[in-house]
Chain A
Amino acid sequence: MIFAHEFMRNALLAGTFVGLACGLVGYFVVLRAQVFAGDALSHVAFTGGLAAAAFGLDILAGVFAATILGGIVIGLLGDRARGDDVAIGSFFAWSLGLGVLFLTIFTTQRSAGNGTAGVRVLFGSIFGLSGSDVRISVALSVVACALLLAIARPLLFATVDDAVAAAQGVPVRLLGLGFLALLGLVAAQATQAVGALLLLGLLSAPAGAAHRLTATAYVGLLLSTVFAVASIWIGLTLSYVFPTLPPSSMIISAAVGIYALALATTAPRARAMTIT
């Protein structure tokens, strides 16, 4: 039944891989307390998509270029490649202004029938993915996960104690920049599935739940990924059963539901983070 529709199969396949990437990267985002950077990058994705639309270029390419560049800019603005929130906020506000500009250019140039383009970039259209969209999404997700797992160990070290890591020769600043660029890649990849504005929930809620439940980094990484993928499946199923409910809202509601359950069932943890 649920698998009988091609759009549903596409959505589940792409969604699973988006969940994998968001769960993995999100765990580091939460550990490094960089959810605000993810927030900013998801809005930069919106600006990039609209810029590409305004100039008649490929929207996906615009989103990728904007978020990866944005990740690097955020890393450079901060003092320690973690980005400080005020600098991120200023950059972020400007990117919103640019987004409005491109939206104006876009709507004045191609006014007919495309009034909802901004809405689509903002909130995603997971049920509208074509076979080739899914292939791109899966491939990018695999690349992002592989890159992240390759740097996972030194990145964890640099996250838990950057001074000691730097003293031992770990390139802390470079890792931080690389991680933000990777976050940009994931933001762009997830944008087409859950939309620029809802990406934040997939980054923060599953990882927040995992962070609450365990102090062991690798277990947390696994839990976060499982929660993210589960949110996608629950959300898509809900939206399939009740067609009036938009899938992106349901996915985020599921993710936040898991997070709320984790908060309700466990006491806040005082122990420090351990890597293994």
Chain B
Amino acid sequence: MPEAAAFQGFSWNPITDLHELFAYPFMVNALAAGTIVAVMAGVTGWFMVLRRQTFAGHTLSVIAFPGAAAASLAGLPLAVGYFGFCGLGALALAGIAGTRRSLSAESAAIGSLQALALALGFLFVSLYHGVLNSLDSLLFGTFLGVTTDQVVVLLVVAIAAVGLVAIAARPLFFASVDADVAHAAGVPVRALGFGFLLVLGLAVAETSQITGALLVFALLVTPAATAHRLTARPVPGVILSVALALAVTWLGLALAFFSIYPVGFYVTSLSFGLYVLVRVGRALRRRRRASARLALEAA
């Protein structure tokens, strides 16, 4: 990275280092984009984990890739491809979830949809020879190359996505926790399910332009999974999920700034490390409680 040679490096003096971080416009944009993406991913990811739609979420993030490839093949703006394909993908996934057959059939259908999307993406890339060299950046994104215009677009999309989830939060939570009871109580469960997938697709399509198709998923699933392990209550859960996503994004960006390794590596490693810590901690506490109870019973 040529930018890395331009500054003094990590100095162990937090004030100089912070000053250094904000001295470069590309870094300010990356921090702004990262913050927006983290908030959006923290909120939608929390519902995605609650609804057990991790596989569907990953499939949506993969569908962004043929979208971008198709757009470059057709000479359209990339954003058209991202949004068009993610919308179609959300429709297809909602159709799969709506038929509610067995888990096996659903698993096979989502897998086939995702494989087809990838096959199409690779086909488009092969037909359009020029893009092959930038395939890596299509898949892994260019976090440090975000422009100010992109930050504005990102902000608009994020406000729309988070706003929609916030408006539908109560019925969506109800429908996610117990679809049958919610349906009996008159909640439009199917429409909500479809709407949620659309919002998830919107969030993913926008995010994948910045972080690449592969890494959106990291911000969606891991902070939310950690939050769900810590609390089952919705409001603290969503707040925790957003806070964790923000923390790993900021730390990841800062670490990447002061080293030669990519942002994606730091963000995923930090969030997975936290997730493992929380799981191990909960398991240890449960064991200690169980042995305390045993000791109590013995006495």
Chain A contact residues, CB within 8 Å of chain B: 29-36, 38-39, 43, 85-94, 96-101, 103-105, 108, 115-116, 118-119, 122-123, 197-198, 200-205, 207-208, 211-212, 244-246, 248-253, 255-256, 259, 268
Please judge, given known A-B contacts A89-B217, A97-B218, whether A249 and B107 are in contact too, CB under 8 Å: no
A-B contact count (CB 8 A): 195
Q: Which of B27-35, B197-205, B258-266 contacts A (4 or more CB under 8 A)?
A: B258-266
CB–CB B112/A198 < 8 A: no
Which residues of chain B are within 8 angstroms of A29 by Cβ–Cβ distance?
107
Residue B153 is within 8 A (CB to CB) of chain A in the complex = no
Give 24 A-B contacts (CB < 8 Å), ordered by A residue.
A35-B55, A39-B114, A86-B225, A89-B58, A90-B225, A90-B275, A94-B268, A96-B214, A96-B217, A98-B268, A100-B215, A119-B132, A119-B136, A122-B139, A201-B112, A204-B115, A208-B105, A208-B111, A246-B123, A255-B112, A256-B112, A256-B119, A259-B112, A268-B105
Residue B254 is within 8 A (CB to CB) of chain A in the complex = no
Smallest beta-carbon distance A273→chain B, Å = 9
Residue B247 is within 8 A (CB to CB) of chain A in the complex = no
A118 to B218 Cα, complex, angstroms: 20
Residue B108 is within 8 A (CB to CB) of chain A in the complex = yes
Partner of A89, one of B54, B102, B106, B120: B54
With an 8 Å Cβ cutoff, the count of chain B residues facing the other chain is 56
CB–CB A211/B261 < 8 A: no
Partner of A30, one of B49, B108, B120: B108
Please judge, given known A-B contacts A86-B225, A205-B108, A205-B111, whether A123 and B54 are in contact too, CB under 8 Å: no
CB–CB A253/B116 < 8 A: yes
Kindly identify, within residues 125 to 146 of chain B, every residue whose CB is under 8 Å from any CB belonging to chain A: 126-127, 132-133, 135-136, 139-140
Please judge, given known A-B contacts A94-B272, A98-B268, A118-B136, whether A204 and B107 are in contact too, CB under 8 Å: yes
Which residues of chain B are within 8 angstroms of A251 by Cβ–Cβ distance?
119
Residue B151 is within 8 A (CB to CB) of chain A in the complex = no
Partner of B116, one of A43, A116, A201: A201
Q: Which of B49, B105, B127 has the most CB of A within 10 A?
A: B105
Chain B contact residues, CB within 8 Å of chain A: 49, 52, 54-55, 57-58, 99, 101-112, 114-116, 118-120, 122-123, 126-127, 132-133, 135-136, 139-140, 214-215, 217-218, 221-222, 225-226, 228, 260-262, 264-269, 271-272, 275
CB–CB B119/A85 < 8 A: no
CB–CB A93/B112 < 8 A: no
In the complex, which residue of chain B has the Cβ closest to the Cβ of A268? Answer: B101
CB–CB B140/A100 < 8 A: yes
A196 to B106 Cα, complex, angstroms: 22
Q: Which of B99, B106, B127, B275 has the most CB of A within 10 A?
A: B275
CB–CB B103/A33 < 8 A: yes
Smallest beta-carbon distance A84→chain B, Å = 9
Classify the secondary structure of A's interface with B: helix
CB–CB A252/B265 < 8 A: no
Please judge, given known A-B contacts A39-B111, A204-B111, whether A103 and B136 are in contact too, CB under 8 Å: yes
CB–CB A97/B115 < 8 A: no
Which residues of chain B are within 8 angstroms of A92 by Cβ–Cβ distance?
58, 217
Smallest beta-carbon distance A224→chain B, Å = 10
A271 to B186 Cα, complex, angstroms: 30
CB–CB B107/A89 < 8 A: no
Please judge, given known A-B contacts A200-B115, A255-B115, whether A90 and B222 are in contact too, CB under 8 Å: yes
CB–CB B262/A212 < 8 A: no
Please judge, given known A-B contacts A32-B104, A94-B268, whether A201 and B115 are in contact too, CB under 8 Å: yes
CB–CB A200/B114 < 8 A: yes
CB–CB A33/B119 < 8 A: no
CB–CB A89/B111 < 8 A: no
